[in-house]
Amino acid sequence: FIDPLMLGSVEILRGPASVFYGSGAGAGVLQFSPARPRGLEATLQWGSDGDENLQYLGFGDESASLALSRRSADDGDSASGDRLHDRFDQYNGQLLWSGEPGGIPLSFHQLFSEGRDIGKSNNQYPDRITDYPEERHWLGELSAGFGERLEASVYYHYQSLDTRVESVGERINDVSSESLDWGFRAAWRFDRLRAGLEYLGRRGVESEETETSLATGQ
């Protein structure tokens, strides 16, 4: 759900890295770093398959930047000419800020993503149609450095997803879910010792499913 134009680099860190990146990183980390626009940047793209198009605008400097993008496409075709159910509309926004108020290095990263009318191809299409009417993500992180030995950050990720699966002529299943992940981590560096503290929690988990029979309308 992250627009590739908003990624500055992707780094693979193998081996035990849980001290700095959390308890879920025992085997390694796939780390995404955001791209920071320098000055004014704009991109327009268009593809013939599915009328896919992109509009991107970013601007900023060393301390703050803002980027906005929109991608959309209609259903495309496979190599054999079959219709694919892969349409989508995607909107992204990203805000980056860094500074040293009071002599403390701070950085803030906020990412917003919303997808609409997302189609998912499968080998049963068009008899079975899977759609994501809406997908939404809010991610944010605030990091601080205290001298050369201590780094700390707090972060959150709100997500919601609507799913619709239609078995044509039989039934429609609608699923709506949402949750909020949040946590903090701190890492201390010493000459021959590294120590870390982390908390991760999930709150507000809700999921609801309804099924409508096309034969009875209930």
Q: Which pLDDT belongs to residue 192?
A: 80
Q: Which pLDDT belongs to residue 48?
A: 86
Q: What does pLDDT average to over the chain? A: 88
Q: Which pLDDT belongs to residue 153?
A: 93
Query: What percent of the chain clears pLDDT 70, i.e. is strictly above it?
Result: 94
**Residue reference for tokens 């930047």:** 65
* Higher-pLDDT residue of 90, 147: 90
* Higher-pLDDT residue of 104, 21: 104
Of the pLDDT bands very low, low, confident and very high (cuts 50, 70, 90), residue 159 is very high
Q: Which pLDDT belongs to residue 53?
A: 94
* Higher-pLDDT residue of 15, 128: 128
Taking every pair of Cα atoms in the chain, the longest distance, rounded to a whole number of angstroms, is: 71
Mean pLDDT of 18-39: 75
Comparing 92-96, 158-162, 192-196, which segment has the lowest mean pLDDT? 192-196
In angstroms, the CA 202 to CA 182 distance is 7
- Asked if 47 and 53 touch (Cβ cutoff 8 Å), the reply is yes
Residue 5 amino acid letter: L
Query: What percent of the chain clears pLDDT 90, i.e. is strictly above it?
Result: 50
- Asked if 157 and 137 touch (Cβ cutoff 8 Å), the reply is yes
Summarised one tens digit per residue, pLDDT across range 162-214 is 999 998 888 999 999 999 999 998 988 888 888 888 898 999 999 999 999 88
The CA distances from residue 191 to 153, 187, 198, 212, in Å, are: 22, 13, 21, 63
In angstroms, the CA 47 to CA 61 distance is 31
